[in-house]
Amino acid sequence: MDKELIITCEHAGNEVPSGYRSLFEDDPEILKTHRGYDIGALELTRTCARKLKVSPYLHSVTRLLVDLNRSLHSPELFSEFMESLDEKGRQMVLEQYYKPHRNTVEAQIEKMVSKEVQVLHLSVHTFTPILDGSLREVDIGLLFDPFRSSETRFCHIWKRLLERDSDLNIQFNNPYPGVMDGFSTYLRTKYTDSEYAGLEIEVNQKFPENRSSGKRWSQVQELVAETLREAYQEWRAN
């Protein structure tokens, strides 16, 4: 069976469509924080996409409008800034900004699977270094379902390659479990292990946020992209 890669970024930007800007009038600065988008994720996604020579699927509207990495039943689908919208208004947001990205990605996966291609889906994310007053020690997290053999095998290959930079703390399913509510978790319900391998990479935002050490952020991006390319080649060959 052939194998192909898809790269997505669900929290690439903090854009607010003009019709919803009034919702953020009281706290516009929130859009610039980790709650508004995944800081550095767009840059990292593009670096990986260039290295792998693929076109990524990007979503640039703020997650505070609707979170594309949450299921429709999740209490975290809409933020507190959306409380003034009625059910009709929320459905409009889903139709305009949630469904187009997810449906496009899912349709591409379906197309590939129908041709007996196993899909490797990488969703790129970043995380805040301090959450609820606690420092997160992990630098790079690889998130996957440990009961899915393809995902497990790929992440073990990738982690081994990433560890060539001994200064980085690289962990599995940290800072979040790989089976928590998310786009990949949903897609696993649609496809078997042999059809679909869904994983997320989580990179600490301390790298893109440290303006005095831009070189280190560039190094981390290059490491992630190059080792992704190598891991993908090794995974495809076996």
Domains of the chain: 2-237 (3.40.630.40)
Residue 210: what pLDDT? 83
Omega before residue 175 within 30° of 0, cis: yes
Q: What is the pLDDT of residue 151?
A: 98
At 42 the pLDDT is 98
Q: How confident is the model at residue 1 (pLDDT cuts 50, 70, 90)?
A: confident
pTM above 0.95, yes or no: yes
Gap between the Cα atoms of 50 and 47, Å rounded = 5
pLDDT classification of 198: cutoffs 50, 70, 90: very high
Return the pLDDT at 238: 82
pLDDT class for 214, splitting at 50, 70, 90?
Answer: confident
pLDDT tens digits, 74-130:
999 999 999 999 999 999 999 999 999 999 999 999 999 999 999 999 999 999 999
Q: Which amino acid is at 73?
A: H
Task: Evaluate if residue 222 carries a pLDDT over 90.
Answer: yes
Distance CA 68, CA 102 (A): 7
Residue 211 has pLDDT above 90, yes or no: no
**Percentage of residues in the chain having pLDDT higher than 90:** 95
| 3-state secondary structure at position 58 | strand
Average pLDDT, the chain: 96
pLDDT band at 70 (very low <50, low <70, confident <90, very high): very high
45: left (phi over 0), alpha (psi -120 to 50) or beta: alpha
Work out the average pLDDT over 5-19. 98
